[in-house]
Amino acid sequence: MKAIEQSPTKDKLWEEKALCLNKLGKTDKAHEACEKAIELNPNNLSAWFHKGTMLFNMGKMTESIQSYEKVIQLSPRHIKA
């Protein structure tokens, strides 16, 4: 993504990359991009949520639950978590 090359520290760009890769079925790369978004902004609620969903789809239930728990910790009223 050209945008990431220009602004590599913007967590939202990494999150969008993760979503795109996930839709393309590149789950491992999507997970890496999501991790980068969280590394850049540990309070990125939607990145934590997407990470939980990706982990769930990968069959990693314990890790998925941990990500959703982080979402709830950041936003106790989050409907989807």
The answer to whether 71 touches 52, Cβ cutoff 8 Å, is: yes
Q: Which domains does the chain have, with CATH numbers?
A: 10-74 (1.25.40.10)
Token representation of residue 78: 């989050």
Name the band, by pLDDT with cuts 50, 70 and 90, for residue 25: very high
- For the whole model, what pTM was predicted? 0.87
Q: For residue range 34-70, list pLDDT tens digits in order.
A: 999 999 999 999 999 999 999 999 999 999 999 999 9
Q: Which residues, 6+ apart, have CB-to-CB distance to 20 below 8 Å? A: 30
